[in-house]
């Protein structure tokens, strides 16, 4: 495939992605994700199960089912990377690693609580 064909295909993929996300979010009152979040993917995403699926299922309407997205995530080999990525970016919308925004928020709070408990724990003493 020539370089121009590759670029053309990439541009088409980008337009299709933008169209799908726009359509999925039209019925949502949530703020739109940043274009950067939608179009720039980290290197690990090349192995993602969702790479070849539509993105609409990952942006269900408020109160909508996550099961379609979760079924894709269940077969994904980069779930850990995906969850870590999403946890470090609170502004990300939609389903990442099978988790909702609410679930990720709870995980961040739990992680913070664990870190605070660790810092409060008395230093172990060595008596012998
Ligand atoms: S875990 Fe799910 S959202 Fe994350 S890359 Fe894999 S399929 Fe996509």
Task: Report domain extents, the chain.
Answer: 3-119
For residue 105, is pLDDT > 90? yes
Count of CB atoms within 10 A of residue 90's CB? 10
Best residue for ligand 1 mutational test, from 74, 82, 88 (most atoms within 8 Å of Cβ): 82
What pLDDT, on a 0 to 100 scale, did the predictor assign at position 104?
97
Count of CB atoms within 10 A of residue 1's CB? 7
Rounded Cα–Cα distance for residues 25 and 112 (Å): 31
- pLDDT category at 11 given cuts 50, 70, 90 is low
Please provide the average confidence, as pLDDT, over all residues in the chain: 82
pLDDT (mean) for 13-37: 62
Question: Which residues are near ligand 1 (CB < 6 Å)?
Answer: 48-50, 72-73, 76, 78-79, 82, 96-97
Please give the model's pTM, rounded to 2 decimal places: 0.65
Best residue for ligand 1 mutational test, from 33, 41, 73, 77 (most atoms within 8 Å of Cβ): 73
Rounded Cα–Cα distance for residues 44 and 53 (Å): 16
Hey, whose CA ends up nearest to atom 2 of ligand 1? 73
For residue 29, is pLDDT > 70? no
For residue 17, is pLDDT > 60? yes
What pLDDT, on a 0 to 100 scale, did the predictor assign at position 43?
87
* Ramachandran region, residue 97 (left: φ > 0; alpha: ψ -120 to 50; beta: rest): left
For residue 7, is pLDDT > 80? no
What is the distance in A from the centroid of ligand 1 to the CA of 126?
Answer: 45
- pLDDT category at 59 given cuts 50, 70, 90 is very high
What is the distance in A from the centroid of ligand 1 to the CA of 73?
Answer: 5
pLDDT (mean) for 5-27: 64
User: Looking at per-residue confidence, does 128 or 86 come out higher?
Assistant: 86
Collapsing DSSP to helix, strand or coil, 119 comes out as helix
């Amino acid at each position: 495939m020539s370089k121009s064909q590759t670029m053309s295909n990439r541009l088409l993929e980008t337009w299709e992605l933008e169209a799908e996300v726009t359509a999925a979010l039209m019925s949502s009152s949530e703020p739109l994700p940043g274009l950067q979040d939608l179009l720039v993917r980290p290197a690990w995403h090349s192995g993602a199960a969702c790479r070849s699926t539509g993105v609409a299922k990952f942006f269900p309407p408020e109160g909508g089912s996550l099961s379609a997205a979760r079924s894709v995530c269940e077969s994904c080999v980069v779930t850990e990377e995906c969850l870590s990525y999403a946890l470090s970016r609170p502004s990300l919308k939609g389903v990442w690693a099978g988790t909702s925004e609410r679930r990720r928020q709870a995980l961040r709070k739990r992680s913070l609580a664990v870190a605070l408990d660790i810092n409060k724990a008395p230093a172990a003493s060595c008596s012998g």
